[in-house]
Structure formats: structure tokens, C-alpha cells
Amino acid sequence: MDVISVIRTKRDKGELSPEQIDWVIDAYTRGAVADEQMSALAMAILLNGMNRAEIARWTAAMIASGERMNFDSLSRPTADKHSTGGVGDKITLPLAPLVAACGAAVPQLSGRGLGHTGGTLDKLESIPGWRALLSNEEMLHVLDTTGAVICAAGDGLAPADKKLYALRDVTGTVEAIPLIASSIMSKKIAEGTGSLVLDVKVGTGAFMKNIEDARELASTMVGLGTDSGVKTVALLTDMSTPLGLTAGNALEVRESVEVLAGGGPADVVELTIALAREMLAAAGIKDADPAKALADGSAMDHWRRMIAAQGGDPDATLPVAREQHVVTAPSTGVLTRLDAYDIGIAAWRLGAGRARKEDPVQAGAGVELHAKPGDTVTAGQPLLTLHTDTPEKFDYAMKSLDAAWDIAPEGTAFTANPIVLDRIA
């Protein structure tokens, strides 16, 4: 078997054999296939796709590259959630402790930023002392004692995906549906969760720009999970506008804590509760009310214990960017569009994301929103605040915002998209 033949097969729109898939995943994991060769194969997959059998075999090979975890020793059922990535998508942060407060165990394996979308681990690492890297024993201990854990996948869990995940981010192949589906589901199946809720984003700020592609991805992942014995449900959710009022790392942590304290933006609260209900139902927990757990402080209690158990200080002051630049509304009227992709690119350029897999991120960088679609704005009022430690980045970030919003005349009727667009089970 040789990698050139594998690349040519997919380049020429052929079907990869099970043997080719098993070999190339194993060889790449061992280092026998170079990054530039896997980049070529990933691009061929992006352009030419994979059928259901290929995706299933690719996923199985990724799982087989490492170990599988087991949570049978826990006294409560396990439920996990995964988002395909969006702008301002901090939902995991309040969701994991909320579901734990309602009686499920949440083993949340999360990732870092991909392209213009933020990464949960990057956000949480803005909390002083917090650790993303836990051994399997540490992960199980945190899960058993606090009800929830958010951490990086260990080196032994789907190591093929860990290499490929970072490579996709810097080679323009993040959007490939077969690679998204196999990346997510290989980790989730190997992780050993009993049930899984998928948040498949749709819109300009998502990797799936239209609902048809999102349904294809969701159906593929639900099938992969179900076939592997994991009860899997997917919600298609809107990502045409950023979630909440922040896009960045420490900025989003602050907003998540506001939600846990019983406040926060209405769209973040709505989606957090909707996903919590799906997770609890999938785990077989029927008598818990996540809205009540947010209101009575029990979700906040679980958050504080979870952060502390991973070395973080829940009372610590979060990093703040050294420089800010305010963007004002150019006219008076109704804000009818605020493009999630453009906001995500601006946050990335300010330092909240990375251009290379080795790059650090700035904890305080990002974009703060002062209005959302449907709001009336006045010419000259703050519309956005840009945050960064490197002010020379402001001009570069501003270029991504040239067409980021529309303002219609006062009195223009506006109807927002629903947060949840569809459900696939």
C-alpha cells in the first residue's frame, strides 16, 4: 500500500477500499504518511466526498488508532454534547454544569478553535490555573465528584483525529462533511458516552452554510452513533448571527458565568436549555427542569466545583485585552443583519484564533456586540468593540467588517430566525 495511490483514488473520484482507509489512517498516525500528503488527501475528500461506507470505515479506523473509555463505574447515566462550531458559541460552558446539576454525568471532550470558530478549550484556558489536559484517571475522578468534566481528548483517544483535526484547520479542509462527521464521532464513540446530542450549526458563521448540507451532516453522524450503540440526536441551530454578545475567549467565559448566574443573553439561555432537555431525555432523566437549575444556583455550584477540580480559580479575574477600538453605527435605523462569519473573522484576526496549529491565542482578544438584529440603533452609537493586545491588528480586523451589517430605515419590520431549525433522531 502506498499513499500516492490512495490520494489518486480519491482525486479521481474513486471509492477508497476498507484496506486503503485502514492503512492510511494507521500510517498517518505512525508518521509514515507526511502532513503534506494527508493534506492532499483531505482536499481530495473535500472536493469529491465519501459515501456512507467510506465514512463509517474512516470513523472506525480513527477509533481503532487508540483506546476506548468506559464509564460503567459511574452511578449516573452519561450524556455528552458536541457543536460543529460557530461564532460566540460558548454553550458548552454553561451546559455541562447545568446537565450535571440535573442528574446526568457529562464527559465533555472538547477541542480548540478551527478557522473562524472559537474553541472551548481556548476559552476555558483563559481562567487562571485551569487545565485542559487530564489523564483518564483524573477525568473519571472529576466526572465522579462534580458531575461534569470539560477537557481535551487524551493522547490515547483517537490519536489519528488529533493529528488530522489540527491539520484541517490550516489547510482549508475544515468544511469537508466526511471529515467533520468522522472527527466528531470517532472521539465521541471512543469516549464511551451513553448518549450524545449534536448541535449542528447552519448559516454564514457555520461550516454548513445551508440547511441541506447540515441535514446531511447531522444524519450521517446520527447514523454513525446509532450504529455504534450510542443514543444520538441532532438539533440544527441557527448561526447566521453570533450567539450572545461576545466572540472571543475570556469574553465568552464572562458571558457564560452571567448565564449560570441567572442572566445572560436570551439566545444563549434558550439554546442552553434546549440542549440540556435533549441531553437529559437521551440519558433517561425525565423529572429534572434545567430552567430551574439555572435559576436556583445549582448549575453555578457545579460550574465552580468543575473549574476548581481542574485547577482553575472560579473567582479569579479574567484577562482583559490591553487595547480596545469602538466601531459605531453609521446610520440610524433597525439593525437587520450582523454577519456571524465576518464577526468570527474579525475575532480571529484580533488574536482570538490561530493561523497555524502551533500559534498561541490571546485570552482577551475578540469582539463585543452592543446590538443584535432587531435592535434600533442610532448613528454614532457603539455597535461593536474590538479587543486585542496588539493594536496593529485593528485595521486588518476592520477589513472583515466592511459588509458585516445592514441597517434598515426606522420602523422596518424584522423577524429573527428561530434558534432551533430542525431535529434529527
pLDDT per residue as tens digits for the range 175-199 = 898 998 999 999 899 999 999 999 9
Cell representation of residue 358: 502551533
Task: Give the span between the Cα atoms of 16 and 89, in whole angstroms.
Answer: 35
State pLDDT tens for residues 75-126.
999 999 999 889 999 999 999 999 999 999 999 988 888 778 889 999 999 9
* 74 contacts 105 by C-beta, under 8 angstroms: yes
- Note the Cα 43 to chain centre separation in Å: 22
Which positions are annotated as active-site residues?
82, 161, 168, 183, 187
According to the model, what pLDDT value does residue 359 have?
Answer: 81
Identify whether the C-beta of residue 140 lies closer than 8 Å to the C-beta of residue 107: no
Residue 64 near residue 218, CB atoms below 8 Å = no
DSSP 206: S
* pLDDT tens-digit map of 133-181: 999 899 999 999 999 999 998 878 889 998 998 898 789 898 898 998 9
DSSP category for residue 125: T
Nearest to 181 by CA among 204, 164, 203: 164
What b/e sequence results for 120-139 when a residue is b if at least 16 CB atoms lie within 10 Å of its CB, and e otherwise?
bbbbbbbbeebebebeeebb
Q: What is the pLDDT of residues 324-339, one digit of tens each?
A: 999 999 999 999 999 9
Burial of 15 (0-12, 13-18, 19+ CB in 10 A): exposed
From residue 276, alpha-carbon distances to 95, 267, 279 in Å are: 6, 14, 5
Q: How would you classify the pairing of strands 79-83 and 195-202?
A: parallel
Residue 175: the pLDDT is 82
Residue 355: predicted pLDDT: 73
**pLDDT per residue over 193-230, tens digit each?**
999 999 999 999 998 999 999 999 999 999 999 989 99
For 16, 197, 284, the CA distances from 231, given in Å and listed in that order, are 28, 8, 11
Asked if residue 178 lies in contact with residue 57, where contact means CB atoms within 8 angstroms, the answer is no
Pairing of strands 405-408, 376-377: unpaired
Sign of torsion over alpha carbons 132, 134, 138, 140: positive
Give the Cα separation of 417 and 413 in Å (integer).
13
pLDDT digits (tens, 9 = 90+) for 13-37: 999 999 999 999 999 999 999 999 9
Q: Is residue 356 predicted with pLDDT exceeding 80?
A: no
Grid cell listed for 172 = 482549508
Q: Give the integer Cα–Cα distance in Å for 178 and 45.
A: 8
Please count the residues of the chain. Answer: 425
Q: What is the pLDDT of residue 113?
A: 81
Fold of 3-49: 1.20.970
Q: Determine which helix (DSSP H) or strand (DSSP E) holds 142, and give its type and residue range.
A: helix 136-146
User: Model confidence over 228-281: pLDDT tens digits?
Assistant: 999 999 999 999 999 999 999 999 999 999 999 999 999 999 999 999 999 999
pLDDT in the model for residue 409: 97
In 3D, which of 192, 189, 222, 183 has the Cα closest to residue 85?
183
pLDDT at 294 over 80: yes
Fold annotation for 79-309:
Pyrimidine Nucleoside Phosphorylase; Chain A, domain 2 (3.40.1030)
Which tens digits make up the pLDDT trace of 342-353? 999 999 999 999
Q: What is the fold of 323-408?
A: Aldehyde Oxidoreductase; domain 3 (3.90.1170)
The residues that bridge with 422 in the sheet, in sequence order, are: 236
Per-residue pLDDT of 40-58, as tens digits, reads: 999 999 999 999 999 999 9
* pLDDT surpassing 70 at residue 357: no
Structural domain boundaries of the chain?
3-49, 79-309, 323-408
Do the domains at 3-49 and 79-309 have one common CATH topology?
Answer: no
Q: What is the 3-state secondary structure (H, E, C) of 330-352?
A: CCCEEEEEECHHHHHHHHHHHHH
- Of the chain, the percentage scoring pLDDT greater than 90 comes to 87
